A and B are shown apart, each in its own frame.
Chain A
Amino acid sequence: MIRRFCATLISRTSVYVFVIFMSFIAIAPIMIMWMASLKTSAELYINPLGLPRYWKFENFILAWNKSHLSVYALNSIKVTIPTLVLVLVCASLAGYALAIFRFKGQIIILSLFLLGLMVPSISIITPLYYTMVDMGLHDTSLGLILVETAAALPLSIYLMRSSFLDIPRELRESVLVDGGNDFDVFTRVMLPLARPAVMSVTVLSFLQVWNGYLFPLILINTNELQTMPLALSFLMGRYQTDIVLVIAGTTLISFPTILIYIILQRQFIEGIAEGALK
């Protein structure tokens, strides 16, 4: 009896130790970064690990003003929101088309979209760059929006399509019998029922665009149009000596994602699992 109790106790304890240790590993680097962002450069040099002696919140204001982060933040917002809207509109319409309409040859179109899931963006970046130059879209926000949309579409369409496939087809027929057309079916019946998929698509596209690095690196040259992730990595090069400022900038940039994640954590986690598995 006592032996069994001990065994359970040990296994329970080791479970907690393991889980708490892994949580600590996950959060420790972030904590270290936050603490570093509150120190002076000199203190960071002597005491890289511990708590800051004086909490220098001015670092954030300094980083924000000195490196024009507001400009880059605005650029990121200006790219992210139109991309999200475009992805949602295009992907839900196309997902509907690919889920509802059945005829020979439809599979070819579906495969063309699935092909996009298999193409790494690093692979098509070369021809994409020259195509954008030819079209005059290189170094414009519009160009970046369209490219990010195109990159997000395959997975988004796939998710929308599978969620439309789960909705009974009889619903469409009943609307059509009542004299509605497919657009009515789409807006009034299907889209409201596919809300979880819409949420997944939003989360996945948001992370892709907001955190995106490769496309803005290649497609945007003008500093004034650059997005936050790029601006940050340039800061690293420019203010090498004043590293605290860069750390403060990094902390500032990670705040919005962490905040949104904590508010919408269930949708985030489910959306990402769905994006990879379903």
Chain B
Amino acid sequence: MKKQIHLIAQFHNIRQNIDTGFRDPVSIRRKITRRSVMYILTFFLFLLPAFGIYGTFTLFPLVRLFILSFQDWDGISRYPKWIWLENYKSVFQSQDFWLALRHNLWWVLLALIPVVLGLALAIVLHQSKPRGRNIYRTIIFLPYTLAIVVVALMFQWMYQSKTGQLNTLLRLIGLESLTHNWLGDPNTALTSLAMAGAWGGYGFCMVLFLAGLSNIDPLLYDAAQVDGAGPWQKFLHITLPGLANTLNIVILIVFIYTMRVFDFVFITTQGGPIDSTQVLATIIYRETFKYYNVGYGSALSVITLLITLLASLIYITLRERGPK
């Protein structure tokens, strides 16, 4: 009641002000509100196209993913059955999941090889400044720009047992005993795929490390030189601490990408021979689009998402912090 009276009083006040042309604090406040409405409206107008597309084709499916993961659905029937956590339970009880997870983690471990190679190359190119280093950088980065299909098919040919270039090379240099059906043998298939991935990745790592190195103040090296530090000490006390953030970021990226790997396996071995290259992404594909266990596949997807989520969170925080 009191508030109403107050409002009426305000209204009269404003009428008066319009008549007299005098501005009191109340009308100024009204003007500010109108401006802030415009402010927020402009904000949403700028945001609208992106949010419309992103909301429909990423956020909405993401919500739907969680719903599907609680259901038993074959993708066709009208009424999916709610079975809540049953899907998750069967994922954790299935051997496929643990096998695939182990394969992903083994791949992550092998993916540290390109990280180390990239780091070494970046340091050498940055510090020793060999002649024509831009040419080296261009060549070494080239594999990363190729489509994964191209890389996967290339390595599939090169790994072949009879006509493959790798075996031919081994025979040529007298290592006949090492020749192998690289992708056909369950013992070597996964590692061979990871090596093909490493081939496409070390140039990428190198480029990121080069960017990190360019942020280190060169004066630090001069100061160390004056103090009589050797190359090893410079590396340990200047380069490595200066690259710490970049190194963390690169390792996280490698982890995230490797846990998601799909194209490489799907194009070459499709998970075989005898499931030796089955990874999380390929069993998601198999369950959903081959066996139509949509609920089970969704539960697997949620788990894959959660596994990479922590790494992604750290990654984004480190990025926000920027190079130190």
Whether A120 contacts B61 by the Cβ 8 Å rule is no
- Asked if B147 is an interface residue, CB under 8 A from chain A, the answer is yes
A-B contacts, 11 listed (Cβ < 8 Å): A33-B157, A36-B157, A97-B46, A119-B58, A120-B260, A120-B304, A126-B284, A128-B61, A157-B50, A268-B145, A272-B207
- Asked if B291 is an interface residue, CB under 8 A from chain A, the answer is no
Extra contacts, 7 of them, besides A97-B47, A103-B36 (Cβ < 8 A), are A30-B143, A96-B46, A112-B59, A150-B54, A217-B266, A253-B149, A270-B211
**In whole Å, how far is B181's beta carbon from the nearest beta carbon of chain A?**
15
Residues of A with Cβ closer than 8 Å to B?
A: 11-12, 15-16, 18-20, 22-23, 25-27, 29-30, 32-33, 36, 44-45, 48-49, 86, 89-91, 93-94, 96-98, 101, 103, 106, 109, 112-131, 146-147, 149-151, 153-154, 157, 181-182, 186, 207, 210-211, 213-214, 217-218, 229-230, 232-233, 236, 243, 246-247, 250, 253-254, 257-258, 261-262, 265, 268-270, 272-274, 276-278
- Asked if B115 is an interface residue, CB under 8 A from chain A, the answer is no
Whether A118 contacts B289 by the Cβ 8 Å rule is no
Residues of B with Cβ closer than 8 Å to A?
A: 36, 39-40, 42-44, 46-47, 49-51, 53-54, 56-62, 64-65, 68, 75, 117, 120-121, 124-125, 128, 130, 133, 136-150, 152-158, 163-165, 168-169, 172, 199, 202-204, 207-208, 210-212, 246, 249-250, 253, 256, 259-260, 262-263, 266-267, 280-281, 284-285, 288-289, 294, 297-298, 301-302, 304-305, 308-309, 312-313, 316, 319, 322-323
Task: Identify which of A23, A29, A230 contacts B154 (C-beta below 8 A).
Answer: A29
**In whole Å, how far is A232's beta carbon from the nearest beta carbon of chain B?**
5
Q: B203: which A residues are within 8 A, CB to CB? A: 26
Whether A15 contacts B137 by the Cβ 8 Å rule is no
**In whole Å, how far is A219's beta carbon from the nearest beta carbon of chain B?**
10
Main secondary structure of the interface of B (DSSP, over half): helix
> Given A90-B50, A128-B57, A147-B57: A123 and B65 within 8 A (CB)?
yes
Give the distance in Å from the alpha carbon of A130 to the alpha carbon of B297 in the complex: 13
Q: A27: which B residues are within 8 A, CB to CB? A: 139, 142
Task: Identify which of A20, A44, A233 contacts B149 (C-beta below 8 A).
Answer: A233
Q: A254: which B residues are within 8 A, CB to CB? A: 146-147, 150
Give the distance in Å from the alpha carbon of A49 to the alpha carbon of B284 in the complex: 38
**In whole Å, how far is B169's beta carbon from the nearest beta carbon of chain A?**
6
Q: B280: which A residues are within 8 A, CB to CB? A: 122
Task: Identify which of A49, A186, A230, A236 contacts B165 (C-beta below 8 A).
Answer: A49
Q: Considering only CB atoms, which chain B residue lies closest to A33 in the complex?
A: B154
Give the distance in Å from the alpha carbon of A31 to the alpha carbon of B295 in the complex: 45
Whether A124 contacts B149 by the Cβ 8 Å rule is no
Task: Identify which of A127, A182, A246 contacts B153 (C-beta below 8 A).
Answer: A246
> Given A214-B262, A278-B319: A19 and B148 within 8 A (CB)?
no
> Given A49-B165, A261-B145: A123 and B304 within 8 A (CB)?
yes
